[in-house]
């Protein structure tokens, strides 16, 4: 079975490339600033791991396929900002051009065999109590097989 961390890192890199904005893995992304690493300014995405599904041979067999699920949270200061970012996330992860994925998802020692958008907030961004932060949730599943 393919290890999860390389897929997580590859998906975070794809999100940064597709959106042009920073992506944190499980936390607020950080960017290099004048005084070292600083919290990224909005908008940005946060990638969180969710439970996975497995298929094929037993898990001890490294030839088993794995469907790794993730939540991508787009964070911004306004609803239009997070919808703009969510559009880019959607296009980056599951967008297609001429029958091929619009953005490559390179995973060492694995082959991505499917990408699926399993949940989209559908234009219903969540606003914090303070009203200063708006988020938009999407969930994706990346299915891989050993290369």
Tens of pLDDT, residue by residue over 41-76, are 999 999 999 987 766 666 556 567 888 999 999 999
* DSSP 8-state class, residue 41: P
Lowest mean pLDDT among 12-16, 24-28, 44-48, 130-134: 130-134
3 vs 59: which has the higher pLDDT: 3
Q: Find all residues with CB under 8 Å of 122, minimum gap 6, and list them.
A: none
Of the two residues 121 and 72, the one the predictor is more confident about is 72
Asked if 65 and 52 touch (Cβ cutoff 8 Å), the reply is no
The yes-or-no verdict on residue 103 having pLDDT over 60 is: yes
The residue among 71, 77, 83, 70 whose CA lies nearest residue 125 is: 83
User: What pLDDT score was predicted for residue 36?
Assistant: 92
pTM for the complete prediction?
Answer: 0.88
Alpha helices in the chain (DSSP H): 4-19, 79-94
């Amino acid at each position: 079975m393919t290890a999860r961390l390389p897929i997580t890192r590859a998906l975070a890199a794809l999100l940064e490339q597709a959106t042009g904005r920073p992506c944190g893995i499980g936390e607020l992304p950080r960017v290099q600033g004048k005084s070292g690493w600083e919290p990224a300014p909005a908008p940005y995405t946060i990638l969180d791991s969710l439970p996975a599904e497995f298929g094929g041979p037993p898990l001890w067999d490294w030839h088993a396929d794995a469907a790794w699920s993730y939540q991508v949270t787009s964070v911004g200061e306004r609803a239009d900002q997070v919808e703009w970012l969510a559009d880019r996330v959607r296009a980056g992860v599951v967008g297609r051009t001429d029958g091929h994925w619009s953005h490559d998802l390179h995973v060492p020692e694995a082959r991505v065999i499917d990408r699926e958008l399993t949940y989209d907030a559908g234009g219903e961004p969540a606003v914090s109590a303070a009203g200063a932060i708006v988020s938009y949730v999407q969930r994706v599943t990346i299915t891989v097989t050993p290369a």
